[in-house]
A and B are shown apart, each in its own frame.
Chain A
Amino acid sequence: MPVSPEEINLVIDAIKSYSPYDFSDYSIKSFTRRIEKALIDFRLDIDKLVTDIKENPEFVEKLVKGITVNTTELFRDPNVWQTLRYRVLNKFSSYRKINIWHAGSSTGQEVYSMLILLNEMGLLEKANVFATDINTDVLNKAKAGEYTYRFNLEYFDNFNKVIRENPFNFEDFEDIPYEKYFDIDQVKDVITVKDFLRKKPVWFKHDLVNEGNIFNTKFDLILCRNVLIYFNTDLQNHVINTFYKSLFRNGALMIGVHESIIGAIANNFNKSGLVYIKKD
């Protein structure tokens, strides 16, 4: 059932007034679609939805979990991870500590991709990895590190491209076993990330829209991929400014392949391929 712009505004206003969340500056089309889906999932009409938002804080938590989008995969966009390996993380090898923030870490696949890559590069010990999301359900799923096997066979193709193969030399192939990082149970259809990876990151609930850098440190690398697409350009700029302030000089920001930094704040970064580097 299509929801009108006026009705969407009622929902946004109610959430803003009666909860800590604010969706005013979300991309309106996808937000509308998420609300339409929520109406079906919760079997509500708009009036009841707005009433529930006002009267039931627990419902708002459930609704926010339903609105936010959690699509992710292991080594999504292998060329991004090859860039990280050969053009970003390699420059950090002389650092004493490497601080990394996964903003909008969803169910954790990119966090584990990073940890595997760091481990293969011998950098895992030096890394402080923070992973945050607005949705505690996906954070818990990320901490558990359990994913279905058959549905995600593509993970292993991506793993091969980033971890086993060398993009600069097609004859070079290192047969690193998947079992180094995962327990794979084909009967139960489950992949479980090994404990030494699961225990490594610090997982936080964090709202990018309303909270800035809560970590008391700056970062060498921030990953925030396919999160900004849900925000309008004002909010995108607000969040990118948070990232800018949170990066060390020459720190790197990786956003989604089809995301870009628009407007004046782009001048604060040097863009090199897929990477934005904070200027001096």
Chain B
Amino acid sequence: MSYKYIVIGGSAGSFQTVTSILAALPKTFNMPIFLCLHRLKHVRSGFVEALSIKSNINVVEPSDKEVVRQRNAYLAPANYHMYFELGNYISLSTEPAVNHSRPSIDISFASAAYAYKSKLIGILLSGANGDGAYGMKQVKENGGLTIVQDPEECQVKTMTSAAIKATQIDHILTSDQIVDFLVNLKK
């Protein structure tokens, strides 16, 4: 097992889980984390700050063509899709919404899967639409590890259920278990 990158997707009901993951990971956690989270269209600022409050890890909205560095969490900016390119950098795009979403989880997960292959862990959390199912399938097909939050625990389980239907999921975990899993990853 040599995972080096983590991509997390979430929508309605995922904010709390993302916050607890960021709060639990130590400052020394050295895998980059990519966050693709749906947010209300008019909520354009303040999200980084909200996620940063309890986080030990630096949370940033990346610039286009920004090189990916360890010990950073990259939050897809509001109204941009976030892609990962070969060469370990991020590119942004304002093309139309996918699955009614921009950022789209499918776009971020599928391009991360292609760029990072078996070094990638894809984690899908609570959410109210089908975005992310195709992306999780891509993570699996490219040799990455797939984790979904237990639908029974999700505030809205549409998203995780769709992913479970779409592809093989390696672990179905509660948010506490997801936190434990990540904290123990790098021992």
Same assembly: yes
Contact of B38 with A by CB under 8 A = no
The answer on a CB contact under 8 Å between A236 and B65 is: yes
Interface residues as binary, B83-97 with A (CB distance below 8 Å gives 1, 0 otherwise): 111100001111110
Contact of B187 with A by CB under 8 A = no
Interface residues as binary, B74-104 with A (CB distance below 8 Å gives 1, 0 otherwise): 0001001101111000011111100000000
Question: A258-B80, A260-B63 in contact; A229/B91 too (CB < 8 A)?
Answer: yes
The answer on a CB contact under 8 Å between A157 and B42 is: yes
Residues of B within 8 A of A (CB): 41-42, 44, 61-66, 77, 80-81, 83-86, 91-96, 107, 111
Interface hits, A257-274 → B, CB 8 Å = 257-260, 262
Question: A29-B111, A228-B64, A236-B65 in contact; A154/B92 too (CB < 8 A)?
Answer: no
Which residue in chain A gives the minimum CB-CB distance to B65? A233
The answer on a CB contact under 8 Å between A259 and B95 is: no
Question: A29-B84, A30-B83 in contact; A71/B64 too (CB < 8 A)?
Answer: no
Residues of A within 8 A of B (CB): 27-30, 33-34, 69, 71, 77, 154, 157, 226, 228-230, 232-233, 236, 256-260, 262
Question: A28-B85, A154-B41 in contact; A258/B64 too (CB < 8 A)?
Answer: yes
The answer on a CB contact under 8 Å between A30 and B95 is: yes
Most chain-B Cβ atoms within 10 A of its Cβ — which of A27, A69, A259?
A: A27
The answer on a CB contact under 8 Å between A69 and B64 is: no
Shortest beta-carbon distance, A208 to chain B, in Å? 16
Question: A229-B92, A258-B62, A259-B64 in contact; A27/B42 too (CB < 8 A)?
Answer: no
With a cutoff of 8 Å between Cβ atoms, the chain A residues found around residue B66 in the complex are 260
With a cutoff of 8 Å between Cβ atoms, the chain B residues found around residue A259 in the complex are 63-64, 92
With a cutoff of 8 Å between Cβ atoms, the chain B residues found around residue A232 in the complex are 65
Shortest beta-carbon distance, A245 to chain B, in Å? 22
Most chain-B Cβ atoms within 10 A of its Cβ — which of A27, A71, A229, A260?
A: A229
Question: A233-B65, A258-B64 in contact; A30/B80 too (CB < 8 A)?
Answer: no
> Given A30-B83, A256-B64, 12 more contacts at CB 8 Å?
A27-B93, A28-B85, A29-B83, A30-B93, A69-B94, A226-B94, A228-B64, A257-B77, A258-B63, A260-B64, A260-B66, A262-B65
Contact of A230 among B42, B62, B93 (CB under 8 A): B93
Shortest beta-carbon distance, B133 to chain A, in Å? 16
Pull 8 A–B residue pairs with CB atoms less than 8 Å apart, ordered by A: A33-B93, A34-B95, A77-B44, A228-B64, A229-B92, A233-B65, A236-B65, A258-B61
With a cutoff of 8 Å between Cβ atoms, the chain A residues found around residue B80 in the complex are 229, 258
With a cutoff of 8 Å between Cβ atoms, the chain A residues found around residue B95 in the complex are 30, 33-34, 69, 71
With a cutoff of 8 Å between Cβ atoms, the chain A residues found around residue B111 in the complex are 29
Which residue in chain A gives the minimum CB-CB distance to B91? A27
The 5 lowest CB-CB distance pairs between A and B, nearest first, are A29-B83, A71-B94, A30-B93, A229-B64, A27-B91
Question: A28-B85, A256-B64, A259-B64 in contact; A71/B77 too (CB < 8 A)?
Answer: no
Alpha-carbon separation in the docked complex, A27 to B66 (Å): 13
With a cutoff of 8 Å between Cβ atoms, the chain A residues found around residue B44 in the complex are 77
Shortest beta-carbon distance, A134 to chain B, in Å? 15
The answer on a CB contact under 8 Å between A29 and B85 is: yes
Shortest beta-carbon distance, A193 to chain B, in Å? 22
Contact of A229 among B42, B86, B94, B107 (CB under 8 A): B94
With a cutoff of 8 Å between Cβ atoms, the chain B residues found around residue A157 in the complex are 42
Alpha-carbon separation in the docked complex, A69 to B13 (Å): 31
With a cutoff of 8 Å between Cβ atoms, the chain A residues found around residue B65 in the complex are 232-233, 236, 260, 262
Which residue in chain A gives the minimum CB-CB distance to B110? A2
Which residue in chain A gives the minimum CB-CB distance to B138? A2
Shortest beta-carbon distance, B47 to chain A, in Å? 14
